[in-house]
């Protein structure tokens, strides 16, 4: 019995019985005609889920911020490797996993030789190879070239980012933008680190807070080296380039580009939850910028500032009430009230 080549089968739903082959480059599924896999299920989101392959890890699935979620074996799915026999519920469509192996690309299918064998006479005598023989020769030559390129790339391939030593001369550049917008307000935070100079621009329409980004601060090489060492281990370079949600009444954007040494990576997140590796990277960068320029409060939205102020007031009052118990509580109370 030949091994199963299709990866999924629709067990229940409007497309019941349909088998689905996931190409090597992955596929997006949903009810919109703009998907790679279009399923005729009105209960599904327009862009519901995507399937992709990880090297050495087989087939994976990731929910795309769908309204009804994607359930993997009755549990909400964010992103997970799939196993044969797993079941995915998207809307009213139930899929079963048949195969998790990445398909091999068919390199020569588009150049299939003609049937039969045709020989051509050379001007100097002898015969040219027949069509299939010529194709075999060309194919062999291409394989030899590909093998040579693999060997050369293996020799000259740079070390993984986590193994690359960070020195005072390691190039570090950051371009970061955060936008939180709705019908009532637009809040924008922009940070730039280039040529060892840091700048931050903040615009908040509702509170009329504005910090111009034309003021730059020179950052010491040791601090940049410390930041580069921290960013090297956050997992940022393993993230996808885009994470897109489906919300239409808000605009929550994170757009971050980091150049570390010779490697540059950009990640854009729009209207969806940020991955853990991105959150760690973002918070590291925000804390660094705010500490250097003293803009911690301005980097926060008004609602967050009010909550922090309330917490500081409550803490200050509580510590002040206990001032006769511990001497250090009075100093802490004064500090908390000043922060508020």
Which among 25, 164, 21 has a CA at the least distance from the CA of 100? Answer: 21
Asked whether the predicted pLDDT for residue 13 surpasses 90, the reply is yes
Q: 216-246: string of b/e by CB count within 10 Å (b at 16+)?
A: beebeeeebbebbebbbebebbebeeebebb
Contact predicate 275/239, CB 8 Å: yes
Class level of CATH domain 8-97: mainly beta
* Count of beta carbons in the 10 Å neighbourhood of residue 125: 6
Task: Please report, rounded to a whole number, the percentage of residues in the chain having pLDDT higher than 70.
Answer: 66
User: Which of 7-21, 29-43, 160-174 holds the top average pLDDT?
Assistant: 7-21
Q: Tell me the mean pLDDT in the region 50-67.
A: 91
The residue length of the chain stands at 340
Write the class of the CATH domain 172-293.
alpha beta
According to the model, what pLDDT value does residue 129 have? 47
Does the pLDDT value for residue 127 go beyond 50?
no
Q: Where are the domains of the chain?
A: 8-97, 172-293, 302-339
- Which phi and psi angles does 242 have, rounded to 5°? -140, 140
What's the rounded mean pLDDT across residues 145-171? 58
Residue 68: predicted pLDDT: 83
Instruction: Name the residue with tokens 């006479």.
Output: 121
Q: pTM for the full model?
A: 0.44
């Amino acid at each position: 019995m030949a091994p199963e080549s299709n990866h999924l089968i629709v067990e229940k739903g409007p497309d019941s019985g349909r088998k689905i082959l996931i190409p090597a480059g992955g596929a997006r599924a949903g009810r919109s005609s703009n998907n790679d896999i279009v399923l005729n299920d009105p209960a599904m989101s327009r862009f519901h889920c995507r399937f992709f392959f990880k090297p050495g890890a087989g087939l994976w699935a990731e929910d795309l911020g769908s309204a009804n979620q994607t359930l993997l074996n009755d549990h909400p799915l964010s992103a997970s490797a799939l196993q044969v026999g797993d079941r995915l519920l998207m809307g009213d469509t139930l899929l079963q996993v048949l195969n998790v192996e990445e398909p091999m690309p068919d390199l020569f299918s588009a150049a299939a030789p003609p049937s039969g064998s045709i020989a051509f006479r050379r001007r100097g005598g002898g015969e040219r190879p027949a069509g299939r023989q010529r194709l075999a020769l060309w194919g062999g030559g291409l394989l030899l070239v590909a093998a040579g390129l693999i060997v050369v790339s293996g020799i000259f391939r740079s070390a993984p980012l986590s193994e690359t030593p960070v020195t005072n001369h390691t190039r570090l550049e950051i371009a970061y933008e955060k936008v939180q917008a709705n019908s009532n307000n637009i809040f924008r935070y922009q940070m730039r680190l280039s040529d060892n100079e840091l700048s931050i621009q903040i615009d908040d329409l509702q509170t009329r807070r504005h910090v111009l980004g034309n003021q730059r601060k020179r950052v010491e090489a040791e601090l940049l080296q410390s930041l580069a060492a921290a960013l090297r281990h956050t997992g940022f370079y393993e993230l996808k380039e885009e994470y897109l949600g489906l919300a239409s009444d808000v605009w929550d954007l994170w757009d971050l580009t980091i150049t570390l040494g010779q490697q540059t990576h950009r990640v854009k997140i729009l209207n969806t939850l940020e991955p853990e590796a991105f959150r760690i990277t973002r918070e590291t960068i925000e804390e660094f910028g705010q500490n250097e320029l003293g803009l911690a409060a301005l980097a926060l939205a008004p609602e967050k500032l009010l909550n922090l102020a309330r917490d500081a007031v409550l803490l200050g009052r509580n510590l002040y009430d206990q001032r006769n118990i511990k001497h250090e509580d009075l100093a802490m109370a004064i500090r908390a009230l000043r922060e508020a």
